[in-house]
Amino acid sequence: MKQSVYIVLFMLLGLWGAFAQKTSKQNTAEEKSYVLVDLSYMNDAIFMGRSDSIAAPYLLPSIGYYDKSGLFADVTASYLTSSGNQRVDLFYVTGGYMFDTKNWSGGLSGTAYFYNQDSYNVQSEVVADITGLLSYDFKLLELSVYASTYFNKNSSLDLFLGFMVDKPIYAMKKQLLIDPKFSIFAGSQYFYQEYYTTSRLGNRKGQGKGQGGSSITEEVINVEIAEASEFNVLNLELGLPVHYQHKHFIFSFSPTWAFPQTPATLTTDDGVYKEDLKNVFYWSVGVSYWFKTKKN
């Protein structure tokens, strides 16, 4: 199994934006262009440890083309499967460039997001992002640095930085990959302020209202988060992705424990409230199929 196929799979299942958990390096001299088709299920939409009070489980079909030059393009739909709301909640397109050398790997990508107007996803006011990832393999461990800019619909852009350490473990002639990892993310919270304004505390999108996270039940007009412009640690994560390859099929399971940091101080027309953040466990499962499209 070529290293870049694992990288792409992680991109589809992870929450790093366009790039995610990296694995140990293999020789890529024989790398070819390929198409990757994936169908995944995510039990809830979590971003920087934050989520809506109503779970947002997604079925995510996607297809991408990955050229041996490193250029790639991917299209993904997110179908909301909750009992009260079933719809295509999000459609996004990603394009960029990846590289993989003996010790260094990484890439740069851009993503455009198209949310359903009724979406209560915590990222539903984000319209695009530019994301980069750089990793170095120390053999014993692999270290990665992530940087991203998120563009919001009606507010300032968000800047995020992330750091990850992981240890890829191969078994069964490298058909099985287990990749324990620890990640830390920091950034601003304009995306969260917009989400609270349009969904959590403001004009709730869709049919229902959440039952947790805040005692405020009346509709409000103005919501401000005191920490929105500050650069703070937002989330700590522990993950244990497991991937098994059988010929051109890849089966994946990615459990993650999130420990959100820096609770928001909310100022509304009714007063000032402190958010009660809680640790959360979420997971995704998927199957992928890849096939080569060109010869060297």
181-236: pLDDT as tens digits:
999 999 999 999 999 988 876 555 554 444 334 444 445 457 899 999 999 999 99
Q: Which residue has the higher pLDDT, 76 or 296?
A: 76
What are the φ/ψ torsions at residue 11 (nearest 5 degrees)? Answer: -60, -40
> How much of the chain, in percent, has pLDDT values that exceed 90?
71
pLDDT of residue 200: 76
Residue with tokens 């992705």: 241
**Structure letter (DSSP) for residue 17:** S
What's the rounded mean pLDDT across residues 80-109?
93
Homologous superfamily (CATH) for 3-292? monomeric porin ompg (2.40.160.40)
Confidence bin at 138 (pLDDT 50/70/90): very high
pLDDT of residue 203: 59
Q: 234: closest CA among 184, 167, 289? A: 184
Q: Which of 109-118, 148-157, 177-186, 203-212 has the lowest mean pLDDT?
A: 203-212
Q: Is it the case that residue 259 has pLDDT exceeding 60?
A: yes
* Both tokens assigned to 85: 């709301």
pLDDT of residue 58: 97
H-helix or E-strand spanning residue 221: none
Confidence bin at 25 (pLDDT 50/70/90): very low
pLDDT of residue 248: 93
Q: 214: closest CA among 200, 197, 231? A: 200
Whole-prediction pTM: 0.84
H-helix or E-strand spanning residue 10: helix 3-13
Taking a C-beta distance cutoff of 8 angstroms, is the pair 42, 82 a contact? no
CA distances from 183 to 142, 259, 260 (A): 12, 10, 12
pLDDT of residue 201: 66
* Both tokens assigned to 240: 């244990």
pLDDT of residue 219: 54
* Both tokens assigned to 294: 């060109």
What integer best gives the mean pLDDT of the chain?
85
What's the rounded mean pLDDT across residues 271-293?
93
H-helix or E-strand spanning residue 5: helix 3-13
* Both tokens assigned to 228: 């929105």
What SS3 class is residue 269? coil
Taking a C-beta distance cutoff of 8 angstroms, is the pair 199, 120 a contact? yes
pLDDT of residue 199: 82
Confidence bin at 32 (pLDDT 50/70/90): confident
What's the rounded mean pLDDT across residues 241-251?
94
pLDDT of residue 221: 59
- The contacts of residue 7 (CB under 8 Å, 6+ apart) are 19, 22, 23, 98, 100, 105
pLDDT of residue 213: 41
What's the rounded mean pLDDT across residues 64-69?
93
Q: Which residue has the higher pLDDT, 211 or 128?
A: 128
Taking a C-beta distance cutoff of 8 angstroms, is the pair 282, 42 a contact? yes
pLDDT of residue 243: 95
